[in-house]
Amino acid sequence: MERGNETQILEFHLLGFSEEPESQSFLFGLFLSMYLVTVFGNLLIILATITDSHLHTPMYFFLSNLSFIDICLSSTTVPKMLVNIQTHSKVITYAGCLTQMSFFILFEGLDDFLLAVMAYDRFVAICHPLHYTVTMNPRLCVLLVLASWVISALHSLLQSSMVLRLSFCTHLEFPHFFCELNLMVQFACSNTFLNDMVIYLAGGLLGGGPFLGIVFSYSKIVSSISAISSALGKYKTFSTCASHLMVVSLFYCTSVGVYMSSLSMHSEHTSAQASVVYTVVTPMLNPFIYSLRNKEIKGALKRLLGQKL
């Protein structure tokens, strides 16, 4: 097929989860509810950390940024899916698909980096408590978040540029609810060897790097906690990072689960269903994990809601 014919593609079709008309109302209600919970839950965390002076610390500064990223991550995929369900349309333009993919890569990468930054914060707080205030100063905190944004933005720009060089056949149907990078590369008509190499290399560096940082931080944290003689002291120290550890476990377990399912299962719809876990469910659960296991967050939320009522 000539390249001129391949690049005439102006739109894609996102098939979503089910084409059965009777299931559309249920899916719309389910994902709308999950999206609203995600937005309002994370907004409460952000408002609590901003308005409560007790939470003006590096840990909660990073947490508020994570909540903002979770809102953005869900907003990249869910609203378009809801519109498609409501309008009975599966169409997304080429430009819209590329934009959605770019923002998804950006916010997914930011999630990964911020979890690593939060692990480093807990490492300094537990392993070097006397130097915590000096080390985790406001300037360093801002620089860590800014560096996460810059690296994630450059990665998103790189992957988007690589996709732009691909040509697509006419009438493409994606068995997914959003434009995912791997899916776009898979359905391209041109040679994708270079794209695959960039995806694997970037995934190894930008995905494996933060993960190794988290593992290193928690290995040091565990060693420090083990050196504490008092059982109560161990519990109190561990409780300061328990919420973050749960979020990290949820993020990486679901991400690995989705990747493994895409390799082992032939149904492409199964991959779409598995992707819901880390694109919708995880951002929705993060506020509950932090608010239920953190006394300071619970106290701040009570004061915040008490003022609003």
pLDDT in tens, 262-284: 555 445 555 666 778 778 888 99
The Cα–Cα gap between 191 and 259 comes to 23
Q: Residue 224: pLDDT above 80?
A: yes
Q: Which positions ≥6 away from 157 have C-beta within 8 Å?
A: 102
3-308 adopts what CATH topology? Rhopdopsin 7-helix transmembrane proteins (1.20.1070)
Closest CA to 220 of 142, 294, 289, 129: 129
The pLDDT of residue 183: 83
The confidence band for 3, taking pLDDT boundaries of 50, 70 and 90, is very low
Is the pLDDT score of 5 beyond 60?
no
The confidence band for 171, taking pLDDT boundaries of 50, 70 and 90, is low
19-49: pLDDT as tens digits: 677 788 888 999 999 999 999 999 999 999 9
Supply the mean pLDDT for the chain: 85
The pLDDT, as a whole number, for residue 127 is 92
pLDDT at 211: 92
Q: Please report the beta strands in the chain, taking only residues with DSSP state E, as ranges in sequence order.
A: 11-14, 91-93, 172-174
d(CA 156, CA 158): 5
Residue 116 is predicted with a pLDDT of 94
